[in-house]
A and B are shown apart, each in its own frame.
Chain A
Amino acid sequence: MSRNSADVVVIGGGVVGCAVAFELAQRGCTNVTLIERDTVASGSSGRCGAGVRQQFGTELNCVLAREAVRIFERMDEYLDYKPSVEFRQSGYLMLAFSDHQWEQFLANVALERSLDIDVKTLTPEEALKIVPFLNIDGMVGATFCQEDGHANPFHTTFAYARAARRLGVEILTHTEVTGIEVEKGRIRAVVTDRGRIATSTVVNCAGAYSGHVAAMAGIDLPVWGERHQILITEPVEPIMGPMVISFHHDFYCQQVPHGSFIMGIGMPGEPKGYNIHSSVDFLEGMARSLRQLLPPVAQLRVVRQWAGLYDRSPDAQPILGECPPVERFFNANGFSGHGFMLAPIVGVIMAELVTTGSSSIDVNRLDAGRFARGELVLEPAVVG
C-alpha cells in the first residue's frame, strides 16, 4: 500500500466501485484509493446475469437506466478498453401472463415512451416472431425494447478498473476494511488489514456487505445479502436474440455472445443471509420453468451453476448519496439486482455528488433517510 492517505476511499471492487473510482479520477480527483477484499469483480459483479435494460416502472429508474445504456453504447471507446466489454443490444422481451400484469406493462410503456425510450407492445403472436420457440400458452402480451441488451460483466468491471488505474487511482485487492474512524460526525480514516488510510470521504460500494461497512461508521443502513442462483449451459450457435423475462414465473434467460445460455429464477422464501452455495431445488425449478417457457433450450446441458448476492434494500431500490449523521459518507448500494446495469450512470452521479455536492440527475429521493421517513419507492418491474 503506497499511500496512507487519500482524498476519497472507495470500498468495494465491483462494477459500481470501479465506475465511481474512474468517474472521480475523470473529474480530476485522482488521489483515490479503492479497497477490494478479494479480486476485482469477484463479488456479485462477477456472478450476475449482466442484463442491461431500460424497461422500468418508475421515472427515476427509467432515466437512470436510459443514461446507463447511452454510456454502455460507447464504453469500449470511452474507457479505451480492448478487447471489448461486449455490449450487445439484442433487446429485452418482457412477458405478461395476467391482465393485471398487462395493465401494469402498458402503464410502464407509456412512462418509458414519455422518456423517449423506444418500447413496443406486442401480441403473443408478434412475440413469436422474435423468439419462435417461445411457449405463449396463457400469455397476455409482451413488451420489447431493442436497445436493451447484455454486456460481459467481467470485461466491463475490468475496463473501469484499468481505466481508473491509468488515471492514478490505487486499487488494493486482497485488502479488507476492518474499521472506519469517525470523530464528531466526520470521517478520519479507513482501517484495513494492511494498514490505515487517512481520509475524509468514503464511498460505500460494498454490495451485500454495505450494511456491515456502514455499521463500522456507526450508521444503521438497511442493506442485506439475498442469495440468487444462476446457471449457464454449453454454447450453441445463436438462436435467441433477446433476454426473455417473465415476472409471473420469476424467470429470466438469455443467450450470450459466447453462445451459451445464462438463466435464473427467483426462489420464494430465500432467507436474508450471505450463503452463496448452490441448491438442487434451484436446478430442478430452473429446468422445469425453462422446459415450460422455452422448450427447445431444455435440450441443452447445464455446465455450471453458481450463486451471488443481491444487495437488497427494503424497497429493492438503490441507496445513493450522502448518509447523515456522518459527513461525507456516501452510499452507492442497495441495487437489489440492478447494480450492473446502472453502474455506469451511478459512477457519474456519485462522482458529481462527491466533487460538487449535487448531481445532474436528482437522486435525492433515493437517499438512505427515506426508510425512516417511510417514503419507500415502489418499482413494479423487478424479477423476484
Chain B
Amino acid sequence: MTQLREVDIAVVGAGPAGLAATLACGESGAATLLVDYMDAPGGQLIKQTHKFFGSERQFAGTRGIQIPAIFMERLSKMPNVALMWGANASGYYADSGVLTLEDGSKFVKVKAKRVIIATGAAEKPLAFENNDLPGVYGAGAVQTLMNVHGVKPGDRVLMVGSGNIGLIVSYQLIQAGVEVVALVEAAGCIGGYLVHAAKLRRAGVPILTSHTVVRALGEETVRGAVVAQVDQSWQVIPGSEREVACDVICLAVGLTPLVDMMWQAGCEMKYVPALGGHVPVRDENMRASNPAVYVAGDSGGVEEASSAMISGEIAGISAATSLGFEVKEADARLSRLKADLAAIRSGPTGEKICAGIKCATVCGGEW
C-alpha cells in the first residue's frame, strides 16, 4: 500500500488565492502542502500581462505575471511549507480526509486535517451551431496558447463576450499581432472596465453590443462565423444575421467556479448566478459546510485576482487557527482583510457580487 503523507493543511491550486492561503498557513507554523497541476505556480496570474490596480497591499502597479515570484520568494524560505507542481489533485475522500495527487506516473496519498480548495474557475460553455468545430476556444485556452506557450492562436479572431477577460484577451491578441475582427456582447452594454474597452476601440476593434454568435462556419475547422443582433432577452432578431471572416471564435462569456473537489467533499452547494454558478456555502472565514474544508478565490465565486488573494489569506489564517496554530493578531488581520474585500467589492460591478456573496454565506456568518 502507498505510504500516507500527513500534513496539517493541504492547499489545492497555486493561483493567487492558493499562494496567499499557503503564505498565511506557512507563517502560522502549520505543516502545509501546496499543489498545482501546472508546472509552475500562478494559475490565472501567469496569463495576466496587465498591471494590477487597487491598494498597494494588492500589488497595485505590478503585472499579474510578476506576482507568483513575489510569493515564491517568501514561501521557499519556509521549511514547514512543501510545494508540488505538476501534481493533479485527483480526489478528496471526505470519510478518510485523504487527498490523492497524481502526475501521470506516481500516485500520492496525503492525509490532511484541513484542505483549502483554490481551484479557480473555467470558461462557461456556449450553445450555438457547430460550437464544437476546431477553432472554437475558451479565452483561457487562447491565453495559455499565446501567453504561456508563445503560439499564435490564429490570424483573425471573433471575440465573444465583453467582460474583463474578453477585453483583456482581445488586447493581448492585438499585442501578439493577431487581428480581432470584432467583439460581440449579447448584453446592451460592455461588461468589463471601460479603460480596457477604450484600448480596443483605439486599436480599431468594432465592439458590437446586443450581438452574439449564432453559428460557426467551416467544414472541419472554423472558417468564419455568423453573428446576429439580439433583444433584451437575448433572442436573435430575425434577418440581422451577418457573416464574419475568422479562423478562431474565442468564448469569453463568463467563468464558472471549478468546484468538483467541494462536491467530492460533500460540501453544501448553492447556485449563485452573480458568482458564476454553483459555489460552496461558506462562513465569513471561508469555511465550507464540511468543517475540514475551506474555500478561496474564484472557486468560491468568480471575482478578481486581488479579491482572490484576500479570500486566500482569510482562508489560510482561519484554517491555521482552527487547528490551534498561532497567527499574530489574527483577529485584527482578519477584520482588515474583510474590510479590503468590502472595498474592492464596492466598485460599480461589486453590487451584484456583494449580493451573491451574502447569498452564499451561511446566515449569521458562522456554522
Contact = CB atoms under 8 A, between A and B. Distances in A.
**Physical contact A–B (CB less than 8 Å):** yes
Interface of A: 275, 277-280, 283-284
B105 interface: no
Interface string B85-125: 00000010111101010000001010000000000000000
A324 to B, nearest CB: 40
B2 A279 contact: no
A280 B93 contact: yes
21 contacts: A275-B95, A277-B93, A277-B94, A277-B95, A277-B266, A278-B91, A278-B93, A279-B93, A279-B95, A279-B96, A280-B91, A280-B93, A280-B96, A280-B98, A280-B100, A280-B109, A283-B91, A283-B100, A284-B1, A284-B2, A284-B107
Contacts of A284: 1-2, 107
Contacts of A277: 93-95, 266
A280 B98 CA distance: 8
B268 to A, nearest CB: 16
Contacts, number: 21
Contacts of A279: 93, 95-96
Given A279-B96, A280-B109, A284-B2, 4 more contacts: A277-B266, A280-B91, A280-B98, A280-B100
Interface residues of B, number: 12
Contacts of B266: 277
Nearest to B91: A280
Contacts of B94: 277
Contacts of B1: 284
B161 to A, nearest CB: 30
Interface in B58-107: 91, 93-96, 98, 100, 107
| Residue of A275, A278, A279, A280 with most chain B CB atoms under a 10 A cut-off | A280
Interface in B1-38: 1-2
A334 B330 CA distance: 56
B106 to A, nearest CB: 13
Contacts of A283: 91, 100
A352 to B, nearest CB: 43
Nearest to B95: A277
Nearest to B1: A284
A69 B44 CA distance: 55
Interface string B325-359: 00000000000000000000000000000000000
A303 to B, nearest CB: 11
B10 to A, nearest CB: 14
Contacts of A275: 95
A279 B109 CA distance: 12
Nearest to A285: B1
Nearest to A279: B93
A227 to B, nearest CB: 11
Contacts of B107: 284
B69 to A, nearest CB: 34
A277 to B, nearest CB: 5
Nearest to B94: A277
A277 B98 CA distance: 13
Contacts of A278: 91, 93
A38 to B, nearest CB: 17
Nearest to B93: A280
A277 B91 CA distance: 12
A185 to B, nearest CB: 42
Contacts of B98: 280
A283 B109 CA distance: 12
A118 B237 CA distance: 66
Nearest to B100: A280
B293 to A, nearest CB: 14
A284 B1 CA distance: 8
Nearest to B109: A280
Contacts of B91: 278, 280, 283
Nearest to B92: A280
A284 B95 CA distance: 16
Contacts of B96: 279-280
Interface in B199-231: none
Nearest to A287: B107
B37 to A, nearest CB: 15
A284 B4 CA distance: 13
A226 to B, nearest CB: 16
B202 to A, nearest CB: 47
Nearest to B264: A278
Contacts of B100: 280, 283
A145 B266 CA distance: 42
B101 to A, nearest CB: 11
A284 B93 CA distance: 13
A299 to B, nearest CB: 12
B319 to A, nearest CB: 22
B72 to A, nearest CB: 30
Nearest to B2: A284
A18 to B, nearest CB: 29
A225 to B, nearest CB: 15
A277 B96 CA distance: 10
A275 B266 CA distance: 12
B19 to A, nearest CB: 27
A275 B93 CA distance: 13
Contacts of B93: 277-280
Interface string B174-186: 0000000000000
Contacts of B2: 284
A277 B266 CA distance: 9
A280 B94 CA distance: 10
Interface string B260-303: 00000010000000000000000000000000000000000000
B4 to A, nearest CB: 10
A277 B92 CA distance: 11
B24 to A, nearest CB: 28
A275 B96 CA distance: 13
A283 B100 CA distance: 11
Contacts of A280: 91, 93, 96, 98, 100, 109
A277 B93 CA distance: 8
A162 to B, nearest CB: 28
A284 B107 CA distance: 10
